[in-house]
Amino acid sequence: MLCGTLWRNARLATMVGAGIGVVEDGMVAAKDGRIVYAGPSPGAVFTAECTVDLGGRWITPGLIDCHTHLIHGGDRAAEFEQRLAGASYEEIARAGGGIVATMRATRAASEAELVESALPRLDALIAEGVTTVEVKSGYGLSTADEAKSLRAARALGMRRDVGVTTTFLGAHALPPEWAGDADGYIAHICDAMLPAIAAEGLADAVDAFCEGIGFSPEQVARLFAAAQRHGLPVKLHAEQLSNLHGARIAAQHGALSADHLEWLDAAGVAAMAASGTIATLLPGAFYVTRETKLPPVDALRAAGVPMAVATDCNPGTSPMTSILLAMNMAATCFRLTVDECLRGVTVNAACALGLQDRIGTLEPGKACDLAIWDIERPAELIYRIGFNPLHQRIRNGR
Ligand code: DI6
Ligand code: FE
């Protein structure tokens, strides 16, 4: 069979089956941007236009960061200093800082400025082998500013060779114009913002922040019903700072993922297991907020809830642009295994975006998105801190 590129003499972590699907003497063949073979050498007989001998390097699927807030104006370094001096994240938020401070900076920025300021963050992820990134809005909090943010997110995918999926997070915080009327703001999102954003095709999913400083489960349920009327899948920031039983609402709506989950209880785990909702763990936010409550990883594992791992890159609780560090923190802080960390940024992250048919594993028919690593064993990707062993990143076979 004639193929475009053949990578041979490689070790593969295919992510197929349980574990990470190791193939010790493997090869990957690509044609027209897709994988046509990934498995043991010699496998099928290929004639390739280009053959690359990887000298025993490891190939994983291109990494997927399935939860980021890459698009935002400004930064919150001053709040970081306030927190170092003793203020809590919730105190700062209630005093008009936090998400609303970033909202002001985001509203003040043009679409082009939002793109330019996000590119260095995106480039940091790309440099670590990320080939797909999810980007949320949620710092505009008006129709025009949310649409601007989502257009900026889509533009990132045109400025760089990376897959971008967009998530509308209008229900991230209550903007000042709606102070005291969260129900009114949710109705406005359902009746005006979401229809406008859906009509322009700007969002691939809808998310909300279910929290005392965010929105109640009842409000989230109204939003999710509206999202489903527009045919959009849903995700939820749930049980991050307290247990409002948001994961149950997410599960009831067949959410792709529920994210954070430090305060998730047994009933929430069971609901997620029943609905097939992915648990996206965000150890960067756990670390930055100095959370001590651990997500119920043992219970999630026992219930068979697939776990994803992401950076949550945002200016407040996770100013982190390293997916490798997110894996390290998931292992060290949350006790995920090496295999769980790797599945968390590949196959399970693909599921959290509803893209499991296109990316996330090394399998024929999937996009040929690869990360090629200068390592001897996969654990090195997770064990080192601040070290990047990426040899090469391949997207769509190139
Ligand atoms: N949870 C978070 O950790 C981020 N958003 C959310 O809903 C924080 C966003 C911020 O502080 O800017
Ligand atoms: Fe987030």
Ligand closest in space to the Cα of 259: 2
Please work out whether the CB of residue 240 comes within 6 Å of at least one atom of ligand 1. yes
Q: Ligand 1 centre from 226 Cα, in Å?
A: 23
pLDDT, position 1: 81
Q: Structure tokens of 354? A: 């509803």
Cα–Cα distance list, 283 to 92, 240, 288, 309 (Å)? 21, 11, 9, 8
Cβ burial of 182 (10 Å; 0-12, 13-18, 19+) is: middle
Q: Structure tokens of 340? A: 């769980």
Name the residue of 79, 89, 135, 172 whose CB sits within 8 Å of the most ligand 1 atoms, as the mutation to test its pocket. Answer: 172
pLDDT, position 312: 98
Name the residue of 89, 90, 99 whose CB sits within 8 Å of the most ligand 1 atoms, as the mutation to test its pocket. Answer: 99
Q: Does 153 score more than 80 pLDDT?
A: yes
Please work out whether the CB of residue 315 comes within 6 Å of at least one atom of ligand 1. yes
For 217-237, the pLDDT digits (tens) are 999 999 999 999 999 999 999
b vs e for 50-84, b when ≥16 Cβ sit within 10 Å of the residue's Cβ?
A: eebebeebbbbbbbbbbbbbbbbbbebeebeebbe
Give residue 89's pLDDT band: very low, low, confident or very high (50, 70, 90). Answer: confident
pLDDT, position 51: 95
pLDDT, position 261: 98
Identify the helix (H) or strand (E) that includes residue 248. Answer: helix 246-252
Nearest-CA residue for ligand 1 atom 2 is 317
Beta carbons of 307 and 299 less than 8 angstroms apart: no
Q: Ligand 1 centre from 115 Cα, in Å?
A: 20
Please work out whether the CB of residue 280 comes within 6 Å of at least one atom of ligand 1. no
pLDDT, position 87: 93
Identify the helix (H) or strand (E) that includes residue 372. Answer: strand 370-373
Q: Does 130 score more than 80 pLDDT?
A: yes
| CA atoms of 251 and 254, how far apart (whole Å) | 5
Give residue 189's pLDDT band: very low, low, confident or very high (50, 70, 90). Answer: very high
Please work out whether the CB of residue 348 comes within 6 Å of at least one atom of ligand 1. no
pLDDT, position 287: 97
pTM for this structure? 0.98
Q: Does 382 score more than 80 pLDDT?
A: yes
